[in-house]
Amino acid sequence: MKVIYKITYPNGKIYVGKDLTDDINYFGSADSKLIAQDFTRDQRRSFAILKEILWESATASDKEVNAKEVEYIAALRSNEPTIGYNQWPKFNG
């Protein structure tokens, strides 16, 4: 199963990603340094995130999944720095 997921961090910001293997333990490749700057040391002591599957397909090609990921990033505006942590496609706001 191939999936598009959304991760929500405690500050409400999101990250949208894809997983071509449906690995339950995969949480994407968001920039850790970018995320870390939004949280104090104390806030990092207890840190819960939510992972939601937004879309899934057993038959989509990798190319179709890539396109779907970009579609969700645009729709949810997760590449807009005040909303999310996606850095691609580049936000031109």
Provide DSSP, the chain: -EEEEEEE-TTS-EEEEEESS--TT------HHHHHTTS-TTGGGS---EEEEEEEESS--HHHHHHHHHHHHHHHTTTSTTTB---SSPP--
The model's pTM is 0.94
CB 4 within 8 A of CB 72: yes
- The answer to the question of residue 82 being in a domain is no
The residue segments making up the domain with residue 71 are 2-76
How far apart (Å, rounded) are the C-alpha atoms in residues 10 and 8?
7
Average pLDDT over residues 6-30: 96
- The answer to the question of residue 81 being in a domain is no
| pLDDT over threshold 90, residue 90 | no
Work out how many domains the chain is built from and give that number.
1
Average pLDDT over residues 42-65: 97
